[in-house]
Amino acid sequence: MEREGLLGDVKDHQSSSQIPRRLAVITVLAFLIFLGIRNTITDLTPSTIAMNKTLPAESIFNITSSEVEDPLFAYNSSDCPYEEWNQVTTTIIPNTEVHDKWMRTWKPIDEPFLYHTKPSAMSAFAQKDQISVALTSTNLINSTMYCRYYDCRRKEISDPFQSIIFHKSTVFCARRPNAKYIAVSLTLDEIPDYSVPIVPRIGNPPHYFTICMAPLYGDEPKFLQIVDFIEYHKLQGATFFHIYLRNVTDYDRMMLDEYVKTGDIEIIKMHDHFWRADYMWHEVQINDCHHRSKYFSKWTALIDIDERLEIRNEQFKTVVDYLDSIHNASVANLHFRVKWVMKHNNTPARYENDAQLTDEMLFCKFRNTSRLGELWDQPKCIIRPENVAIMTIHGPLAMYKGETITLVNINIGFIRHYRSVEQRVFPGALDRMMSHAPFNILPIEQWVEQNLTKNILSRVKLVYDIVDVSCEEKIKMYSIENVTAPCSIGKQDLFTKL
């Protein structure tokens, strides 16, 4: 059988002559394609031809500009930015004599319920002559520690520093040039936990009065308490808040995130890889707040979410008015005694409307107030952080300079403590509060109540009073991407109801 081929008659049974003829066809086609490309290149503009003479052939279609690089970006992947504050080397730790004397005389209480077997850095702050590292552990007292330094690319700097754990949770490290991260280890051979950033506290403190809130945890809804706490103390002159977090609901977290967005707070998550009960984080939080606040603020208060610093004096309207009156540099710890307020109910889990929220505000709902507690009946403090050597929940244990206690007169102020009548963690708390009877109705100052109500409503509505649409409208929106609307299958989001 014969058939007509591209180059003439080709017989199927003559397979031996078929292959050379096909190769000839391919050669002819390749030659024609080459001629077409050559003609195209010949038609290029003169400027393109000129570039062709100066650039390699492979660069013709990948031409880059010859502009000079902006000096701001004139670095490569191995470079670290030069920072004037971070060019310091130190070899000794300041106040060593204070630390040594304390550790020789202090008899720590055994805490067998803490199970840490290795240290882990929680935070680190560079001052002009040292780096203060706050740990998450509290049971490795007086252990030898090695400070391990890392540059901006987390490459270890081969100049470690030997130190010890001071008190329960602090390691003081020497300065190293270009150290951007730091970790601690029990030995030099040990691989430490992940390093943490070194936060500079070198320049002038950016704040006058700040507040650290004790760790948030537990099952009681907190969004209203959070906004009440922050807005109340803003009226008292606080300009920044460090909020320590173990766990809250997603709904409560939205309020915290709103304050982060507006620059009012920093959230510090409290977690490591060793178990402990939520309330056991309090000492760690106090230590971290102490170091975090040094050279960040002149005055810092360390209080709980259910506590309010209250000024009751004709001369001083707010907390900062009182602080402004203190000109004696030896005053380093203002010691506030407590009045308890009976709190009979939990705060609401969600915002419903303005009337509901106003009725549930702590200062409107709970006013039954005890007499003043004694000197050590759970007092709280405002401190000068840089003057304190060791800080605890209720006051300093040791000082670098200044008085250990300056008692705030009852005619000036106290702590208003909204104490729940429901036992949650600590047995005996209700009995302790009730031992300070008689109780009397004591509203907060009228100007505070008016402004606080307005500010709470404004912030809560901004976060939770979402402009909603019907489920039908949501279905239309979701259908654009062929996605099932949650409301159509009975699911409710954080902010809207079915």
What span, in angstroms and rounded, lies between the C-alpha atoms of 92 and 367? 53
Of 4-8, 48-52, 456-460, 483-487, which gets the smallest average pLDDT?
Answer: 4-8
Whether residue 70 lies inside any domain: the answer is: no
CA distance 15 to 353: 90
User: How many angstroms from the chain centroid is the CA of residue 113?
Assistant: 27
pLDDT surpassing 50 at residue 3:
no
Output phi, psi for 440, to 5 deg.
-140, 155
CB 178 within 8 A of CB 152: yes
The whole-number average pLDDT for the span 62-73 is: 79
> Could you tell me the CATH number of the domain that includes residue 287?
3.90.550
* Structure tokens that stand for 474 in this block: 């949501």
Matching residue, tokens 């109340």: 232
User: Within this chain, do residues 477 and 441 fall inside the same structural domain, yes or no?
Assistant: no
Instruction: Give a yes or no: residue 76 inside a domain.
Output: no
Percent of the chain with pLDDT over 90: 77
Strand order from edge to edge, sheet including 413-420: 307-311, 413-420, 338-343, 368-369, 440-441
The length of the chain, given as a count of residues = 498
Residue 248 and residue 118 in one domain: no
How far does CA 327 lie from the centroid of its chain? 33
Asked if the structure places residue 341 within a domain, the reply is yes
Q: Is 67 a domain residue?
A: no
Instruction: Evaluate whether 318 touches 311 at the Cβ level (below 8 Å).
Output: yes
* Model confidence, pTM: 0.85
Position 72 in a domain: no
Query: Are the C-beta atoms of 415 and 305 separated by less than 8 Å?
Result: no
* Alpha-carbon distance values, 79 to 153, 159, 238 (Å): 8, 19, 40
Domain count, the chain: 4
Residues 399 and 483 in one domain: no
Q: What is the DSSP letter of 167?
A: T
Stretch among 250-259, 289-298, 427-436, 461-470 having the lowest mean pLDDT: 427-436
Tokens of 168: 């329960």
* 3-class secondary structure, 199: strand
Task: Please give the residue range of the domain that contains residue 266.
Answer: 207-463
The SS3 call for residue 145 is strand
Rounded-to-integer distance, Cα 181 and Cα 150, Å? 5
Q: Is residue 73 part of a domain?
A: no
Cα–Cα distance for residue pair 482/480, rounded to 1 Å: 6
Q: With 70 as the cut, is the pLDDT of residue 68 above it?
A: yes
Q: Are strands 121-126 and 156-166 parallel, antiparallel or unpaired?
A: unpaired
Of all residues in the chain, the percent with pLDDT exceeding 70 is: 85
Q: Is 224 helix (H, G, I), strand (E, B) or coil?
A: helix
